[in-house]
C-alpha cells in the first residue's frame, strides 16, 4: 500500500499556494510568489525538492526550485529555444509557456523533463542547471505542418509519462498533435493515436492533430493508459497502440480536461466533466465528479458536497489529483475541493482562491 501524501501544491494565477494535512484536516499554510502566475508546481520524491513554473505576465516564463519546502527559492534558467528554430516556416520559436515538469525521472534527481509551448520538450541531466531541446521530437516531420495550438496559440506538451523500468521509453501528450512515444531516449518518436477521434478535423482518424487534454498511465501497470481527450475519454490496454472510447453513453463523463487514476486499483479513475468545447462551464451549472471503478465501462456521478446550482467552475488538466483515498481538485473560479472517501463526498477548503492551474499531492 502506498502512503498518503500530506501536502498540496497549487499552481494558481496569483502564486504557489500550499495546504498541509494535520490532525484537524487540511490547512492553508501559505504561499510563494504572491501575484505571479504559476502554471505548474510539483515536487520530486527523493529530495523533496519543489519546482514552480511561472508564467509571469511581464517578465516571461521563469523556473524556480526550493530545497526547503518553499522557505526559500532559487531561480534557474528556464529552457531556451536554440537560435533560428521555427514554430513553422517564418515564425521564430521562443518559449511561450511551461506546461509541465517531470522531476526525478525514474528516481534520478538530476534528470528532469519539461514540456513547453510552442511544442518543445526539454531535458536536463544536471538537476536543472541546463536544459536542452530534445531534437528528435522537435525535428519530427509532422511538427511544422501537422501540430497546432489548442486553447493556446501554439502546440504545447502538457503530459509526460516515463516507463518506470526504462527511462528511455517515454510518452508525451501534445495539444494539438496527439500522443507520441520514444523507445530510445528521445532520438526517434512516433505517434500513438490509433482509435482516437478528432471531431474537429476533416479526417477524425488522422494520426496527427489529435487533442489529448491529459495523458496518464497507471503506476502499477503502465500499459494501461487513459486520456481525457478533447473528444471524449479514451483508454488503451496495450501501451497506447490502440485507443478506445470509454465516455459515458448517457451521463456527463465526456468532455473535460483532467483525469486522475487510483494509485492501487487499475480500474478506478476520476474526471470532472464540463459541457463541451463550445461551452466550457459546469454541466447544468452543477459541479460533479465522475468516477469509474470498472475500467471505464460505467461512470458514477458524484455530487455530494459540490454546488448544484449557478456554478460555472471547470477544472484544468493538471488541477485534479489523488493520493490513497483522498482526491482533490481546484477550479477556474478559485474553489478547492477535497474528498477523503474517493469522491463519495466533498468539502470545499476555500472558495476564494485565484484561478487554479495545477493541484498536486506531494
Partner 1 sequence: MNDFTKVMPTVKFTYALKRFYPDLKEVRVQGKTVAEVLKDLDKLYPKLSTYIVDDQGMLRKHVNIFIGNTLIEDKESLGDMVDEEDEIFIMQALSGG
Q: Output the smallest distance, CB 92 to partner 1, in A.
A: 6
Q: Output the smallest distance, CB 61 to partner 1, in A.
A: 9
Q: Which residues of 57-79 are buried (b: 16+ CB within 10 A; e: fewer)?
A: eeeebbbbbbeebbeebeebebb
Alpha carbon distances (Å) from 309 to 27, 303, 313: 27, 11, 11
Instruction: List 54's β-bridge partners, or say none.
Output: 38, 62
For partner 1, the closer of residues 112 and 224 by Cβ is: 112
Q: Are the beta carbons of 150 and 211 closer than 8 angstroms?
A: yes
In this structure, what C-alpha cell is assigned to residue 33?
Answer: 510568489
Distance in angstroms (rounded) separating the CA atoms of residues 361 and 63: 20
Q: Output the smallest distance, CB 83 to partner 1, in A.
A: 7
For partner 1, the closer of residues 75 and 205 by Cβ is: 75
For partner 1, the closer of residues 113 and 246 by Cβ is: 113
| Parallel/antiparallel/unpaired status of strands 269-273 and 289-292 | antiparallel
Residue 249's SS3 state is coil
As to burial, measured by CB atoms within 10 angstroms (0-12 exposed, 13-18 middle, 19+ buried), residue 202 is: exposed
| Parallel/antiparallel/unpaired status of strands 156-163 and 86-88 | unpaired
As to burial, measured by CB atoms within 10 angstroms (0-12 exposed, 13-18 middle, 19+ buried), residue 98 is: buried
Q: Output the smallest distance, CB 80 to partner 1, in A.
A: 4
Q: Output the smallest distance, CB 336 to partner 1, in A.
A: 21
For partner 1, the closer of residues 78 and 272 by Cβ is: 78
Q: Are the beta carbons of 290 and 271 closer than 8 angstroms?
A: yes
Instruction: Please report, as ranges, the residues that interact with partner 1 according to CB under 8 A.
Output: 57-60, 75, 77-81, 83, 92-95
Q: Output the smallest distance, CB 36 to partner 1, in A.
A: 9
For partner 1, the closer of residues 58 and 297 by Cβ is: 58
For partner 1, the closer of residues 156 and 240 by Cβ is: 156
For partner 1, the closer of residues 75 and 126 by Cβ is: 75
Concatenating the DSSP letter of every residue in 285-328 gives G---EEEESSTTS--EEE-TTS--SS------TBSEEEETTEEE
Concatenating the DSSP letter of every residue in 220-241 gives TEEEEEEEEETTEEEEESSTTS
Q: Which of 317, 277, 296 is nearest to 226 (CA)?
A: 296
For partner 1, the closer of residues 56 and 187 by Cβ is: 56
Q: Output the smallest distance, CB 78 to partner 1, in A.
A: 7
For partner 1, the closer of residues 110 and 153 by Cβ is: 153
- Measure the CA dihedral 198/199/202/203, to 10°: 50
Q: Output the smallest distance, CB 126 to partner 1, in A.
A: 17
Q: Output the smallest distance, CB 137 to partner 1, in A.
A: 18
Amino acid at each position: 500500500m502506498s502512503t498518503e501524501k500530506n501536502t498540496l501544491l497549487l499552481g494558481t494565477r496569483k502564486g504557489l499556494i500550499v495546504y498541509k494535512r494535520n490532525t484537524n484536516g487540511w490547512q492553508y499554510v501559505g504561499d510563494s510568489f504572491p501575484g505571479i502566475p504559476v502554471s505548474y508546481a510539483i515536487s520530486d520524491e527523493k529530495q523533496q525538492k519543489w519546482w514552480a513554473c511561472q508564467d509571469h505576465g511581464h517578465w516571461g516564463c521563469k523556473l524556480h526550485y526550493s530545497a526547503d519546502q518553499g522557505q526559500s527559492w532559487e531561480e534557474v534558467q528556464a529552457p531556451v529555444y536554440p537560435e533560428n528554430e521555427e514554430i513553422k516556416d517564418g515564425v521564430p520559436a521562443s518559449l511561450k509557456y511551461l506546461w509541465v515538469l517531470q522531476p526525478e525521472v525514474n528516481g534520478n534527481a538530476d534528470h528532469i523533463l519539461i514540456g513547453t509551448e510552442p511544442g518543445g520538450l526539454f531535458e536536463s541531466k544536471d538537476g536543472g542547471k541546463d536544459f536542452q531541446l530534445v531534437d528528435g521530437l522537435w525535428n519530427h516531420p509532422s511538427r511544422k505542418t501537422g501540430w497546432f495550438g489548442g486553447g493556446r496559440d501554439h502546440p504545447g506538451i502538457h503530459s509526460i509519462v516515463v516507463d518506470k523500468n526504462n527511462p528511455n521509453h517515454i510518452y508525451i501528450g501534445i495539444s494539438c498533435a496527439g500522443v507520441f512515444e520514444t523507445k530510445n531516449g528521445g532520438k526517434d518518436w512516433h505517434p500513438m493515436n490509433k482509435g482516437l477521434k478528432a471531431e474537429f478535423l476533416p479526417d477524425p482518424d488522422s494520426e496527427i492533430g489529435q487533442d489529448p487534454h491529459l495523458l496518464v498511465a497507471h503506476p502499477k501497470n503502465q500499459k494501461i493508459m487513459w486520456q481525457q481527450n478533447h473528444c471524449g475519454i479514451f483508454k488503451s490496454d496495450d501501451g497506447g497502440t490502440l485507443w478506445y472510447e470509454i465516455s459515458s453513453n448517457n451521463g456527463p463523463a465526456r468532455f473535460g480536461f483532467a483525469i486522475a487514476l487510483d494509485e492501487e486499483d487499475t480500474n478506478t479513475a476520476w474526471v470532472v466533466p464540463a459541457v463541451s468545447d463550445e461551452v466550457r462551464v459546469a454541466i447544468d451549472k452543477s459541479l460533479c465528479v465522475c468516477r469509474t471503478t470498472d475500467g471505464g465501462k460505467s461512470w458514477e456521478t458524484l455530487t455530494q458536497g459540490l454546488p448544484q446550482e449557478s456554478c460555472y467552475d471547470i477544472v484544468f488538466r493538471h488541477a485534479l489529483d489523488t493520493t490513497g483515498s483522498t482526491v482533490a481538485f481546484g477550479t477556474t473560479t478559485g474553489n478547492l475541493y477535497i474528498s477523503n472517501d474517493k469522491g463519495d463526498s466533498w468539502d470545499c477548503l476555500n472558495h476564494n482562491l485565484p484561478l487554479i492551474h495545477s493541484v498536486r499531492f506531494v
